[in-house]
Amino acid sequence: MEKLKLGDQYQENVRFTQKDVNLFADVSGDRNPIHIDEAYAAKTPFGKPIVHGFLAGSVFSKVFGMNWPGEGTIYLYQDMSFRAPVFVEKNYVAKFEIIEHNQERNRATVQCTLEDEEGNQAIIGVAKLLNKKML
């Protein structure tokens, strides 16, 4: 496989279940009822439970570690801005683009976005990665 370069892009479909949210609540200890209590969440401005922001953002880590660039990737930095709620059982797409690349140091800066099917941004951010094989 050839090394990634400036401007390369990747995307992956994402969908969270209530089971995913409940498991994350158990693991993280964040049991805010807006995530796990349908009756409570119905009374909020969102009208239904929302996915934890860091669970939704974890798709970036999953992609970097497993798919693009994949094995050997070291996460150096991540910022995220939460722009809109992420809901269970709704389709999203995670989009990535290399916006800076230092081939000599095997590093890249990647624009990360999680969007719904209509193209509305739920999360935007930037990551910095190290991967000696792929960057």
Q: Judge contact between 102 and 76, C-beta under 8 A.
A: no
Cα separation values, 24 from 17, 18, 52, 58, 115, Å: 11, 10, 8, 11, 21
Q: What 3 state SS string does 50-92 have?
A: ECCHHHHHHHHHHHHHHCCCCCCCEEEEEEEEECCCCECCCEE
This prediction has a pTM of 0.93
Type of residue at 56: A
- Does the pLDDT at position 1 exceed 80? no
Q: What would the pLDDT profile of 50-90 be if each residue is shown by its tens digit?
A: 999 999 999 999 999 999 999 999 999 999 999 999 999 99
The pair of three-digit structure tokens given for residue 46, joined into one six-digit string: 């969102």
Would you give the distance in Å from CA 104 to the centre of its chain? Answer: 27
- Where residue 22 falls (left for φ over 0; alpha for ψ -120 to 50; beta otherwise) is alpha
Average pLDDT, the chain: 96
- Arithmetic mean of pLDDT, 110-125: 97
Q: Which domains does the chain have, with CATH numbers?
A: 9-16+52-130 (3.10.129.10)
- The 10 Å Cβ neighbour count of residue 55 is 20
- Give mean pLDDT, residues 26-53: 97
Q: Is the pLDDT of residue 18 over 70?
A: yes
Rounded CA-CA distance 63/111 in Å is 13
Position 131 pLDDT exceeds 80:
yes
For residue 5, what pLDDT is reported?
94
